[in-house]
Amino acid sequence: MRTIELAGVQVPVVGQGTWRMGEDHRQRTREVAALREGLDLGLSLIDTAEMYGEGGAEQVVGEAIAGRRDEVFLVSKVYPHNASLDGVQAACERSLKRLGCERIDLYLLHWRGRYPLQETVEGFERLREQGKIGAWGVSNFDLDDLLELDQPACRSNQVLYNLQARGVEYDLLPWQQQAGMPLMAYCPLSQAGALLHEPALREVAERHGVTPGQVALAWSIRRDGVIAIPKAVGSAHLRDNAAAASLALHADDLALLDAAFPPPRRKQALQMV
């Protein structure tokens, strides 16, 4: 598995997302098993958030990593309305309890809210000093937000990035690459996988004898400094995701995809879901 340095740790360029997990108790056994199988395949970065299932996803993750915590680079996120100095402390402690561990490796502000960034950063730094988080970062921040934040200690920015949402390539991604701040791409296969039916994607997949999902995922991590965090609950999907990390797209593949999904020519508003 190809790796990238994130917060001083080598992590795989493809991890595991958990959005929509923990919402249906009938799926819990299947979701836990999927995360464990992902770990077996080398997908050792797991991303979650207190928002997902209102803590349910963190509970699923906690069960999945029980007895395997040392194998996992664990990412979670705090709600903006919990991102005050005291609020971030309490939210992190609740997350740690649900996760069943003593430390979150990377703790992110899920998106900007009403609290001043400086106050949230102070809360993050306090948590880091206490050993409850290893590092901190942000999510859904555009370039102007990062410039306003002006914090070298911010270790990552997690944003929507896929073939249908390429706006970050205009200025945000280049800036993060120059700053050495990995970009974590959520929804790399688009929402509900609608992207996977696109003819250009299917054509490239046929050329390589792989699935459209593997092409979309390989495309999202083709640039240095990008980590993708797709969600998967089926064995075949998990194996496809792991294999996508070693899929090399050719220049003609990229040209075909650029024609179908043109790169941005001007600044675009940051897309979010």
Tokens 């509900």 sit at which residue?
A: 192
Nearest to 94 by CA among 110, 82, 81, 111: 82
Pair 131, 226: CB distance under 8 Å? no
Catalytic residue chosen out of the listed positions 52, 107, 161, 186: 52
Q: Which two tokens stand for residue 72?
A: 């996992």
Nearest to 190 by CA among 271, 246, 103: 271
Q: Pairing relation of β-strands 3-6 and 9-12?
A: antiparallel
Q: In the annotation, is 79 catalytic?
A: no
Dist CA 38 CA 232 (whole Å): 9
User: Helices 212-220 and 251-260: crossing angle, nearest 10°?
Assistant: 100
Pair 119, 138: CB distance under 8 Å? no
Return the active site residues.
Answer: 52
